[in-house]
Amino acid sequence: KNQVEQSPQSLIILEGKNCTLQCNYTVSPFSNLRWYKQDTGRGPVSLTIMTFSENTKSNGRYTATLDADTKQSSLHITASQLSDSASYICVVKGNNRLAFGKGNQVVVIP
């Protein structure tokens, strides 16, 4: 079983709308959690890095939350744009190793 589970697997949203992506993990001990954006055929680009003590971190229209007690994180995209169409990957670090989620595939339509 994958140590990092993301949901929904994919979603389609209208331009301008908000959406929230979920990441649940079982990695222990926990070091940090990262959200990456990966455009099709490109490498992942970091959006946020969160440590145990951080609950919320924003990067422009992207806001990540972390609940280390329940081992859940979310990535909220505000006022989505067409350029937000991508795969969003949750990566959890623990025991000096990285565990990758399969990604949330987001498609923003006009």
Partner 1 sequence: GAVVSQHPSWVICKSGTSVKIECRSLDFQATTMFWYRQFPKQSLMLMATSNEGSKATYEQGVEKDKFLINHASLTLSTLTVTSAHPEDSSFYICSARAQGSSRNTGELFFGEGSRLTVL
Q: Which residues bind partner 1 (CB under 8 A)?
A: 2, 4, 31-32, 34, 36, 41-46, 49, 51, 89, 96, 98, 100-103, 105
User: What is the smallest separation between the CB atom of 97 and partner 1, expressed in angstroms?
Assistant: 8
User: What is the smallest separation between the CB atom of 2 and partner 1, expressed in angstroms?
Assistant: 8
Report cis status (omega within 30 of 0) of the bond before 44: no
Give the DSSP letter of residue 85: -
- Nearest Cα neighbor of 77 from 91, 92, 88, 90 is 88
User: What is the smallest separation between the CB atom of 77 and partner 1, expressed in angstroms?
Assistant: 20
Contacts 24+ apart (CB under 8 A), 39-45: 39/86, 39/87, 40/86, 40/87, 44/89
Nearer to partner 1, 37 or 71 (CB): 37
Nearer to partner 1, 49 or 78 (CB): 49
Nearer to partner 1, 89 or 108 (CB): 89
